[in-house]
Amino acid sequence: MKTEVRGSTTSISLQNPTTIFNTSQGASLTGALKGCLGSLDGACIEKLLLHCASALESNDVTLAQQVMWVLNNVASSVGDPNQRLTSWILRALISRASKVCPTPMNFNGSTSSSTIPTRLMSVTELAGYVDLIPWHRFGYCASNSAIFKAIQGCPKVHILDFSITHCMQWPTLIDALAKRPEGPPLLRVTAPNWRPQVPPLLNVSSEEVGLRLRNFSRFRDVPFEFNVIENSSSLELLLSTQLNPSSLDLRDDEVLVVNCQNWLRYLSDDPRGGSPSHQDGSMRNTFLNMIRSLNPRIIVVVDEDSDLSAPSLSSRITTCFNYMWIPFDSLETFLPKDSAQRMDYESDVGHKIENIIGFEGHQRIERLETGVAMSQRIRNVGLLSAPFCEETVKEVKGLLDEHASGWGMKREEDMLVLTWKGHNSVFATAWVANGPNPNGLLMED
């Protein structure tokens, strides 16, 4: 029997379902399915996904095929949030299985590093993408408020922008700086050429983005410069040659800000020397030490609040199913099931899911760690946390009022955390390099 994965162009050759349970593996599957077959309950789907992961980890392709057949009868790219999420996880599992045993699986899809077609957005489409749910706007709002407070009274400001959303954060800050009582500063934004090839992808160059920001700043009467870091076409080049005062053209008369939005997860945490005892040499820690050495006035770090770095496939699937459910469920509250905008957004989430589940080694670039773990990592390099002030909290709450009622915010230690129905989604943190309360810069009022 050939079964099509709903919402995808890939297919696998599966056993006839009437014979599935007549094997020893089938008996194991029957136990896993007890009380679940035909149910759309999330706990039952998660049990099936873990059964499939266990089969793949033990190279039991036959059992994996059997579970995939059952999952395929639950998954739907136009169903409820659990079904839609399952369809993308199932696709990732099929992609992974095809790499392990392509002939028995009869997998007809691409085996390239990305089997999900990626789309290039216009700047207008990107703005709509960012506004859809507060996944990115939460971090923008918290970071911009902290940055605005940290640079009060400064006539010249230089922002190093490490982000995946093509400088979409800065128009709001530029607008706020234009209204500053003492007048706007001279603002410089510097961004690297290199960014991970993950959604959202833009159909214009970094230079074109800078030109648009320059035009907007001129309209708001804010002096503005935009620079792209030269010779930063790869992450290795960026870290080895460009993160120094000379290459970045740092100036003594300006205040430096470092902005990291959904960035650090793409820096490998594998020891660069190949030995666990040399963890300090990992790309992630190297980057943090480098930006600390630049002595910035403030560093803001925003990322998704989940641990998706486990070596175990089963662990990653459990976390993925319970975390990636959030965007699928939040979109359900205001977009119809067949909405093209919804499907496009979910496809971008699916791109992430495929990397988390379908790949290993250096090809698995989605390696999130929780906000608590990231905060401890940052403290370990000698940076100090700067708690967000009540004014920032008020601004973020005002932003969330524009979205569905399921979105909320809470404090965890010195972090602000975006939540959906009580589940952690995104964390925001702020850091200083020069000891507690340098020049009154810690954020508490």
The CATH number of residue 170's host domain is 3.40.50.150
3-class SS shares of the chain: helix, strand, coil, % to 5: 45, 15, 40
**Domain final residue, candidates 367, 387, 407:** 367
Residue 354, domain member (yes or no): yes
Q: What is the pLDDT of residue 289?
A: 95
Locate 11 and state its tokens: 């297919």
Instruction: State the burial class of residue 261 (Cβ atoms within 10 Å of its Cβ: 0-12, 13-18, 19+).
Output: buried
> Cα(119)–Cα(344) distance, rounded to whole angstroms?
9
Backbone φ and ψ for 408, nearest 5 degrees, come out as -145, 180
Give the burial string for 351-385 (b: 16+ CB within 10 Å, else e): bbbbbbbbbeeeebbbbbbbbbebbebbeebebbb
Q: Are residues 298 and 327 in the same domain?
A: no
Q: Are residues 427 and 301 in the same domain?
A: yes
Q: Are residues 299 and 239 in the same domain?
A: yes
Q: Are residues 129 and 46 in the same domain?
A: no
Q: What is the pLDDT of residue 160?
A: 98
Locate 98 and state its tokens: 């095809």
Q: Are residues 390 and 354 in the same domain?
A: no
Spatial CB neighbours of 219, under 8 Å, sequence gap ≥ 6: none
Q: Each residue of 313-353: pLDDT tens digit?
A: 999 999 999 999 999 999 999 999 999 999 999 999 999 99
The strand pairing partners of 160, in sequence order, are 190, 258
Q: Which domain holds residue 60?
A: 38-104+311-367
Locate 397 and state its tokens: 């709450």
Task: Give the chain's domain count.
Answer: 2
Q: What is the pLDDT of residue 87?
A: 95
Q: Are residues 356 and 377 in the same domain?
A: no
Residue 319, domain member (yes or no): yes
Residue 386, domain member (yes or no): yes
- The answer to whether the CB of 8 falls within 8 A of the CB of 93 is no
Residue 355, domain member (yes or no): yes
Residue 114, domain member (yes or no): no
Task: Count CB neighbours of 219 within 10 A.
Answer: 11
Q: Are residues 164 and 206 in the same domain?
A: yes
Q: Are residues 154 and 242 in the same domain?
A: yes
- The answer to whether the CB of 143 falls within 8 A of the CB of 300 is yes
Q: Could you check whether the bond before residue 200 is cis, i.e. omega within 30 degrees of 0?
A: yes
Q: Are residues 142 and 98 in the same domain?
A: no
Q: What is the pLDDT of residue 270?
A: 85
Which regions in the chain score pLDDT beneath 50? 1-23, 103-114, 274-279, 436-445
Q: What is the pLDDT of residue 61?
A: 85
pTM: predicted TM-score of the whole model, two decimal places: 0.88
Locate 190 and state its tokens: 């510097």
